[in-house]
């Protein structure tokens, strides 16, 4: 049976060049063009949006009553557990294959997914590094940031400080107004180049867990709809949490994992592995 346009490129290989892999290694992020078709993103985007609306805990909270984090976006996590159609998207091999090649590992397993919808009038997302929240033993973690519509500058696309995955300052800072100022000053002193560009429909960015990034406010009349999938090395081990955020993430995303052991739990299946060519890991 011929695959429909909505699913035909979920599992096909996306060819990366050695130059792209090298740039990712150097900068800690990359934007790739034409990763998915308009038809696929429209089909899965509709299901993701419906799920976000259903599980939006901030629907009745006025913007002026929210803190900086809540103003930045509506966040709904592990959508793959809520709807089968979204599960198919999250466990698609194409994104996971790209993540594997960029991380230069043998394969990746799921940490978790999350939708990040920045409402019209939604505030900026402060500078931060994701891995401050993650009880993971190495830096072999990566986030695929998948816009479900074009994202002009006015809508708040993701922005990166190139090479900042090597900066150790600020790794203990949570997302907040204070972290925004402290990290902005530190990044400016370190003279990292700043990537801030619009995303076309089909563009997908990937960034390491320790790469500092932010997003501007959404000054348009339309929501900025983004789906993300967070992967880790298939051999990733759990470490002792170093802060309350990491303990909460352990409890939420890999509660059955044990410190010092591979995070091989029902919530963290292998999505793609070069060690498993017959594809027995189906997610």
pLDDT tens, residue by residue, 221-251: 999 999 999 999 999 999 999 999 999 999 9
pLDDT of residue 71: 60
User: What's the pTM value of the predicted model, to 2 decimals?
Assistant: 0.92
Report the first-to-last Cα separation within the chain, whole angstroms: 22
Residues 6+ apart with CB under 8 A from 204: 31, 32, 35, 36, 95, 98, 144, 145, 146, 147
Q: How much is the mean pLDDT over the chain?
A: 90
pLDDT of residue 177: 81
pLDDT of residue 2: 40
Domains annotated for the chain, with CATH where assigned, are: 19-268 (2.60.120.620)
pLDDT of residue 59: 62
Which stretches of the chain drop beneath a pLDDT of 50? 1-5, 278-283
Report the distance separating Cα 208 and Cα 133, nearest Å: 13
């Amino acid at each position: 049976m011929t695959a429909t346009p909505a699913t035909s490129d979920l599992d096909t290989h996306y060819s990366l060049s050695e130059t792209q892999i090298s740039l990712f290694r150097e900068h800690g992020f990359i934007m790739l063009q034409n990763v998915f078709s308009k038809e696929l993103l429209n089909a899965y985007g509709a299901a993701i949006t419906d799920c976000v609306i259903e599980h939006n805990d901030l629907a009745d909270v006025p913007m002026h009553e929210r803190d900086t984090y809540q103003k930045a976006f509506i966040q709904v996590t592990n959508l793959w557990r809520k709807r089968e159609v979204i599960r198919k998207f999250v466990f698609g091999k194409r994104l996971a294959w790209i993540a594997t090649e960029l991380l230069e590992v043998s394969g990746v397993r799921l940490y978790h997914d999350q939708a990040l919808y920045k409402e019209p009038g939604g505030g900026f997302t402060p500078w931060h590094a994701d891995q401050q929240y993650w009880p993971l033993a190495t830096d072999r973690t990566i986030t695929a940031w998948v816009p479900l519509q074009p994202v002009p500058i006015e809508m708040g696309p993701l922005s990166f400080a190139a090479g900042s995955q090597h900066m150790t300052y600020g790794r203990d800072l949570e997302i907040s107004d204070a972290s925004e100022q402290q990290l902005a000053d530190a990044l400016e002193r370190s003279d990292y180049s700043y990537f801030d560009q619009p995303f076309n429909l089909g563009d997908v960015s990937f960034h390491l867990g320790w790469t500092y990034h932010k997003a501007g406010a959404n000054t348009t009349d339309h929501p900025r709809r983004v789906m993300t999938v967070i992967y880790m090395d298939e051999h990733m081990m759990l470490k002792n949490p170093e802060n309350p955020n990491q303990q909460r993430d352990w409890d939420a995303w890999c509660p059955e994992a044990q410190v010092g052991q591979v995070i091989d739990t029902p919530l963290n299946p292998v999505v793609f592995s070069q060690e498993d060519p017959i594809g027995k890991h189906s997610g």
